[in-house]
A = this chain, B = another copy of it.
């Protein structure tokens, strides 16, 4: 069986780990879709070091020909890679046109988390605990790794949020950016990206809650004050205190109802 495309160089690979062997030694034959084979090849090129961030992939048509698959298969693989934030694509000719390997996990993570929050696959309470775990670490690291530029950026966001005229939308956006800025100041890329994704995924939810507040200004003032305290702890280089403040800050807002 498995005629599986003429003309494919479609090789095996397929290292299915630990699958319940139902009948003595009869593995169920891997029926990998073609685009997955393409994905494997690309990953192999990266693993072997022949392909690294910044490099340009062959044109879709060329890659299809080289792998012996149709362009559709290549395109679907590219779609997946794009969804993971591994490549960026653009039209046109020239050196930088086409498909380029660029590691940008941020957006991809955000979309992933947001979709699963929407699907109720994960509850908001879970997201809150995860945020706390990550942002504690962000704050702790940021206290020692943040530079003057980072502090200045944070101060800028604080100033906007201090403005009594500030709308819930603006406040929410700046709040997001404030937390994200701390995450990036931590120097830990992964923690930063995950923190960003979580905060961004909650953006709509938090905005709704802010807009639904009876006394938005009072809440905003309280949150802004807590932000200032966190900022002060960061500037003072007190990581542990910053972490505790962040935890109280996040938990405090959610616990309000």
Contacts and interface: CB of A to CB of B under 8 A. Distances in A.
B119 A86 contact: yes
Most buried by B among A82, A83, A85, A105: A83
B173 A17 contact: yes
Contacts of A115: 43, 46, 81, 84, 86
Nearest to A138: B133
A2 B111 contact: no
A174 to B, nearest CB: 10
A105 to B, nearest CB: 5
A143 interface: no
Given A75-B76, A80-B79, A103 B119 contact: yes
Contacts of A35: 79
A111 B129 contact: no
B134 A4 contact: no
Q: How large is the interface on A (under 10, 10 to 19, 20 to 34, 35 or more residues)?
A: 35 or more
A41 interface: no
Contacts of A109: 112
Given A83-B84, A137-B133, A46 B119 contact: yes
Contacts of A53: 119-121
Contact of A108 (B86, B107, B112, B173): B112
B134 A119 contact: no
A59 to B, nearest CB: 18
A188 B121 contact: no
A14 to B, nearest CB: 14
A190 interface: yes
Most buried by B among A35, A101, A137: A137
A90 interface: yes
A7 interface: yes
A120 B105 CA distance: 12
A188 to B, nearest CB: 5
Contacts of A240: none
A189 interface: yes
18 contacts: A7-B111, A17-B173, A52-B120, A75-B76, A76-B79, A79-B79, A79-B80, A79-B83, A80-B80, A81-B115, A83-B84, A86-B115, A86-B116, A108-B112, A109-B112, A122-B193, A129-B190, A132-B137
